[in-house]
Amino acid sequence: MRRVKRSDAAYEIYQAYAAEHTEKWAGAKALTMDAAMADMPEIERKYNLECAEYGNVLFGLSDEFAAAGKLEQEQLAKLTDVGNLQAQLDSGAYVAVVDGSKVSQADALTKCVEAFEGGRDKAVDAVLATKLPALDKKK
């Protein structure tokens, strides 16, 4: 907090974060190597979920990424409407990868895009609905 000026518009957000950080670390305990290794699969699972949600939020809230994504989505929709998406996939002009494997069918790609949009919208709604108790108290 030393480097954040009190006049900064985000000062209260950083202050709430610092208080939450201090509270969470107050109950920290040391782990043995065996305990840490036993916890690792669950931590990795949560990390992968967090990375996926971060991508959803990034593409939903960032004006730059959201605009680029919207443009690409419209282009895919146009190609699907005129029936050229499969030809583009077959020729290699478009390459789609989902879960580490190449998507070669236009209808599968369309379903993946729709699923991504739904997940992105849910993630953005959840982030926008999140309230920080520390900020609510100050109002």
For 83-123, write each residue's pLDDT tens digit.
888 888 899 888 888 888 888 888 888 888 888 888 888 88
Between these two residues, 131 and 82, which has the higher pLDDT value?
82
Q: What is the largest CA-CA distance in the chain?
A: 60
Distance CA 105, CA 86 (A): 6
Q: What is the pLDDT of residues 8-27, one digit of tens each?
A: 878 888 888 899 999 999 98
Distance CA 93, CA 59 (A): 23
Distance CA 61, CA 57 (A): 6
Q: What's this model's pTM, rounded to 2 decimal places?
A: 0.55
